[in-house]
Amino acid sequence: MSTGEDVVNVGEAGGGLPPLEGDEGLFEQVVPGYQLLPQWDSRYPSQGLTAVDAPAGYITLFVDFFSEGNFWQPATHFLGNILQYYGFHISQMSPMGMVHVRHFEFVCRSQGMERL
């Protein structure tokens, strides 16, 4: 039985999600470590923001996306085509979902099916 504490209020700022918790020092290592170009203007979120509070023109990507999901920038055309085909935005992917897409890409490439 729900106590009401676990109910998400999508009408409030951040959609009722908990604020992001992170390490700005780790962020400063991730940006050059994963070759995120300066012109992409990667930003560490302000304190108290949630994953849905990214400024206009920005998306939220988690470190696990890169470290666990084997995601690199610039993204491959294959990934873009998969996302477009299924109507997903990159920000809707979880790190584990990215692992599945990347694995599928590797299998297709190994079989000579690089274009979708």
Domain encompassing residue 50: 13-110
Assigned domain for 3 exists: no
pLDDT tens sequence across 92-113:
888 888 889 989 999 999 999 8
Assigned domain for 8 exists: no
Assigned domain for 115 exists: no
The structure tokens listed for 103 are 């694995």
Assigned domain for 29 exists: yes
Assigned domain for 1 exists: no
Q: What is the pTM of this model?
A: 0.61
pLDDT tens sequence across 20-79:
777 888 888 888 888 888 888 888 888 888 777 888 888 887 788 888 877 877 788 999
CA dihedral 35, 89, 93, 99 (to 10 degrees): -60
> How many domains would you assign to the chain?
1
Assigned domain for 6 exists: no
What is the distance between the alpha carbons of residues 62 and 71, in angstroms, rounded to a whole number?
A: 10
Widest Cα–Cα separation across the chain: 54
So what's the pLDDT on residue 1? Answer: 43
So what's the pLDDT on residue 15? Answer: 64
**pLDDT band, very low/low/confident/very high, at 17 (cuts 50, 70, 90):** confident
